[in-house]
Structure 1
């Protein structure tokens, strides 16, 4: 009851009071900005309809970062929040840094860092002892090796680490975890907000997370602007899919067995999950490689899902 999705986000984060929309670039290559036509609501942030985007899937924002020197959100530098909108709030859906703003909102309302808030309200209650933004020396030694996919299909190991002295904790990514921990989180959602007798969310909250929250808008295909980091992708090409708080919702049965109304999403390093509230099953697959939406991993993900539903049958 401390946050209402219909509230102006600026009620909690004054820096969102006067958002600007990027309309293009002038003849000298400088950004052209105009005031947004309407306020950003909390709902817009929760549903990726705020106008904020990610540069990985935006030629315009990639160019804006290059022209202005603004850091990318993955650097965990606060300067990344100076990003403009790419469209007016509520106009369409596009995945972006909205959830990082939600992280700032949670910190403002709780007067805690996300690291502490998540620990006290999610990780500790669910027994997720290997989850968080900051990792100890023993945990660091256990981090899975990151790889890049080569053009010949092979894999090359490479160094990769999220900043361990960040200026902010990312509401939209950057956390460490394990498959065992993450499955505890997914099972909590599957069970309407409880896991092993511990309630983390109200049933009605979980129900709202799995319900279409973008009305007549549809989730759109994401076109890569930075191929080294991501392929273009669309989880359900040619089909309408919606967005809840804050998951992709397939409105038709999935090609590999999941029911209509299932929720899903992914992590940039080719980690994927889905949750089927009809069949009461959830599954996930975890890898550590780039670019995102790797063809071989996605194929394996589909094979895994089909195998799970075949087993249920």
Structure 2
């Protein structure tokens, strides 16, 4: 295994409690050097990166600090807020229930969750700024929700949602969440996976947190993945960092851990790079990992197949630069969506093959699965805004380094 030594081994942060570095091939050192350089330049605070094939970890590296002010060293078991990367878990949960006959991809989702009945589509605003709505002509389906073609859109990347919500605050009679377009006609990244979470809870009869534990994270041994963290896990958590007006990274205080009994499968979960990589390995291996089976191979194949035809996906224009930059991870490459992931239709130079799968979390955590070249990777940082330019450079350097090391580019 190519194993990153981290900044502690380089003498750049305190090394107390850090194991001596393991010798590794030159290719692994090249990845280390690239990630260390980003930390030394203070372009990112700290990072954990891992890659694996179906059975084995092939690279692991932890660099920099969990908190740039305290210089607490990163380690592979650092806990991160992974935000929307929980959507993959929720998609797996829904497809498990499809396999069991408790959910159906193409029947009206309102058959399970009546709150999805009688959806209204926003067609525009009149001269006074009053939202104009009409009944949807098509029902919202589970397939729509999983592929972000339901019409639900996040305000972070849709100014029409921002404008609508402002009007709705002044008129409580307006529906809380209209559709931005007719289901199945466009792609917009949005909160539809929160509705999938509701469908999972209704169909299974258990909360999404318990469902994950009993059906996904528990069987796979993902013991550091959950909506609630313990005190011991909190001690391993990375702090969120934001950029000030000059681009300097500033650590934020930890979020408050308020007790709650309700969770959503659209965001708000914690994990570690080793935990999440196990999920990716299971998906790379046809739904099985170390004796646990979470999905059938035919379901995995369906997840990995374009589900939205010729609709373009994956490009986002920010409505709040403090939270997200504009997003276009692969300029000039056609992007589609499967049942849980974005798919690059074309190959990416020096890295992933056509048909690879990917997505991310708001705080700059990312993953990819390359079914053709049989490799998956995860990289975790804690920075706002999303699609932070320096974080993306680190991501690309890591990914390309993995393919070069494996001779698969």
With normalisation by structure 1, the TM-score equals 0.92
Partner of residue 386, structure 2: 292
Which residue, 320, 336, 351 being the options, matches 1:226?
A: 320
**Counterpart check, 1:15 vs 2:109:** no
Partner of residue 96 from structure 1, selected from 180, 190, 195: 190
Write the distance in 1 (CA, Å) between the matches of 2:273 and 2:211. Answer: 21
Moved more, 160-169 or 211-220: 160-169
What are the ranges of 5 or more consecutive residues in structure 1 without an aligned counterpart? 71-80
Residues of 2 paired with 1:214 and 1:22: CA distance? Answer: 21
Cα separation, 2, equivalents of 1:181 and 1:162: 23
C-alpha displacement at 1:4, in angstroms? 1.4
Give the match for residue 32 of structure 2: none
In the TM superposition, what whole-angstrom CA distance separates every residue of 1:18-38 from its partner, at most 9, and x where no partner exists?
001122333443322221121
Aligned residue for 2:399, secondary structure, equals helix
Aligned to 2:130: 30
1:272 Cα offset (Å)? 0.7
* Residues 149-228 of structure 1 mapped to structure 2, 5 A cutoff: 149-161=243-255, 164-166=258-260, 168-228=262-322
Partner in structure 2 of residue 63 of structure 1: 163
Identify which of 173, 179, 182 aligns with 1:85.
179
Residues 241, 248 of structure 1: 8 Å contact kept: yes
Q: Give secondary structure in 2 for the equivalent of 1:283.
A: strand
> 1:99 aligns to what SS in structure 2?
helix
> CA separation of 1:166/1:62 partners in 2, compared to 1, >3 Å: closer, same or farther?
farther
Question: Over aligned residues, Cα RMSD in angstroms?
Answer: 1.7
- Distance in structure 2 (CA, Å) of the matches to 1:129 and 1:192: 22
Query: For the Cα contact (< 8 Å) 1:221–1:237, is it kept in 2?
Result: no
Does the 8 A contact of 2:317 with 2:326 survive in 1?
yes
Aligned length: 303
- How many angstroms apart in 2 are the aligned matches of 1:27 and 1:160? 44
Whether the 8 Å CA contact 1:223–1:233 is kept in 2: the answer is yes
Q: Higher mean Cα deviation, 132-141 or 257-266? A: 132-141
Q: Is 1:120 aligned to residue 214 of structure 2?
A: yes
| Residue 125 to residue 162, structure 1, CA distance change in 2 (3 Å) | farther
- SS of 1:265's partner is strand
| Contact 1:162-1:174 at 8 Å conserved across structures | no
Provide the secondary structure at the position in 1 that maps to 2:197.
Answer: helix
Aligned counterpart for 1:6 among listed residues 84, 101, 106: 106
C-alpha distance in 2 between matches for 1:178 and 1:218:
31
Q: CA deviation at 1:253?
A: 0.8
Shift of 1:152: 2.0
1:131 aligns with 2:222: no
Find the structure with the greater CA-based Rg: 2
User: Structure 1 residues 307 and 124, CA, compared in 2 at 3 Å: closer, same or farther?
Assistant: same
Unaligned ranges ≥5, structure 2: 1-100
Q: Which has the higher contact order (CA 8 A, sep 6+)?
A: 2
Give 1:53 shift: 0.4
Separation in 2, partners of 1:42, 1:285: 29
1:46 is aligned to 146
CA contact (8 A) 1:21 1:88 kept: yes
**CA 1:220–1:304: 2 relative to 1, 3 Å:** closer
* 1: CA distance, partners of 2:207 / 2:324: 29
TM-score (norm 2): 0.71
Q: Does 1:265 align with 2:365?
A: no
Greater mean deviation of Cα atoms: 145-154 or 199-208 = 145-154
Q: Is the 8 A contact 2:303 2:341 kept in 1?
A: yes
